[in-house]
Structure 1
Amino acid sequence: MNRRNVLVGLGTIVAGGGAALGTGAFSTVTAERTVSVETAGDSDAFLALTAAEGAEDYVDTDGDTIEIDIGGDGDGINQDALTRFEELVEITNNGTNSVDISASIVESSDEADVLTLIEEFGEDNSLGGTESTTFGLAIELREAEVGSGTSYDEGDLTDDFDPTIEITAESTE
């Protein structure tokens, strides 16, 4: 083998190795993309929240977000009693993916234990596309259950009682 063949052979190996290892190699890419996001009111969103049938007196749907107002046509709920509203809000999955639903009360005071959710979220808390479920509320004002020494021991809610309900839907797909 002569010297020229050895140099051509080594050159071919180096060029081939460089092409095999160096193709498409980069360390940084910056690319700008546009994102379009639209919002919808609670009744039209991917996770729709509406008044359950018969709960229209307690669930205000006039704005873009619903509000639950237990005052109703009377002056309020009974003192020193347990009051249950079985179905207040209907949750409908308007999306195409199945979702797991959960809800919790975000307490606004230390004594918001008087309020609990009544959940009817179905098997495994899962909602497929176009499926619906409901939740309600129980308000416990019986002195034996609430305990004395709280602002609710007289069975009366004060002005600082304004909890928020947080509803979460996580895609299962």
Structure 2
Amino acid sequence: MPTRRQTLFTLGNLFVLGGAAQSGASAVVGSSSNASFRVVDDTTGDNSIELTPANDPPIYVQTDDDGDVSGIDLDDDSAGLSKRAITRFEDIVEITNTSTDPLQGIYFSFEATSSVLSAETLDDVENTLQATAGANTLDSSGPSGDNLLAVSSETSVSDGVLGPSESVAFGLQVNLVSSSEPGSFDDLPPSEDYELTLRVHTEWPDA
């Protein structure tokens, strides 16, 4: 059986991803609806992935001194997120397999927490966010959802595996059209009312 691990990114109030991600947890601190975020990575582990900008120069991505993704700024072109719209940010971050083992699966999930919002509202917040592979929107429900490596059309994963030193890009979609599933909001709740976590689930061969 393959071994599944999680890389945890704790978000501010919307979403972010980044840092040199390994099997473990990354603490991420972000701002609210101005869509500007920073990332602090403190992960360790044998099987690891690294997140870097997919574009040169970076688009919507901030980097640290090592060139790793340190945040995402969705307002860097004064556009940002629009209410009552579906906003896509395609292929803005690249995942590189920095281990010596083949990476067999990459999955995404979002988790919203709050001391003031209802469970139903938190579910709705989670449903506004999805990872993307090129023009394809991924079911971002964790290991039971879509495998980035199976959906991506990049040649590096044409065999469904991300080998050592190989990379694959992904992006994000924010669905703020309440009539378009799975979205149910036309705008997000006040940013100070909730915290959102993006989990990157990775699947490796047994040791």
TM-score w.r.t. the length of structure 2 is 0.51
Deviation at 1:42, TM superposition (A): 0.7
Matches within 5 A, 1:1-173: 42=20, 46-53=48-55, 56-62=58-64, 66-74=70-78, 76-108=80-112, 109-111=122-124, 112-119=126-133, 120-121=148-149, 122-123=157-158, 125-145=160-180, 152-153=185-186, 155-156=187-188, 158-159=190-191, 160=193, 162-172=195-205
- Quickly say closer, same or farther: Cα 1:170–1:144, change in 2 above 3 A: closer
Aligned-residue sequence identity (percent) comes to 31
Task: Say which one has the larger Rg.
Answer: 1
Q: CA–CA distance in 1 between the matches of 2:195 and 2:77?
A: 19
Q: Deviations over 1:23-71 (max 9, x none)?
A: xxxxxxxxxxxxxxxxxx6189841111211572422322776333323
Q: Is the contact made by 2:105 and 2:204 (CA closer than 8 Å) also made in structure 1? A: no
Please identify, of 53-62 and 101-110, the stretch whose mean Cα deviation from structure 2 is larger: 53-62
TM-score where L is the length of structure 1: 0.59
* CA distance in structure 2 between the aligned counterparts of 1:58 and 1:83, rounded to whole angstroms: 13
Structure 1 alignment gaps of length 5 or more: 1-40
Gapped runs of 5+ residues in structure 2?
1-18, 23-43, 113-121, 134-147, 150-156
Considering fraction of residues, name the structure with more strand: 2
CA contact (8 A) 2:105 2:202 kept: yes
Cα separation, 2, equivalents of 1:88 and 1:42? 15
Deviation at 1:161, TM superposition (A): 5.6
**Closer, same or farther in 2 for the Cα pair 1:128/1:136, shift >3 Å?**
same
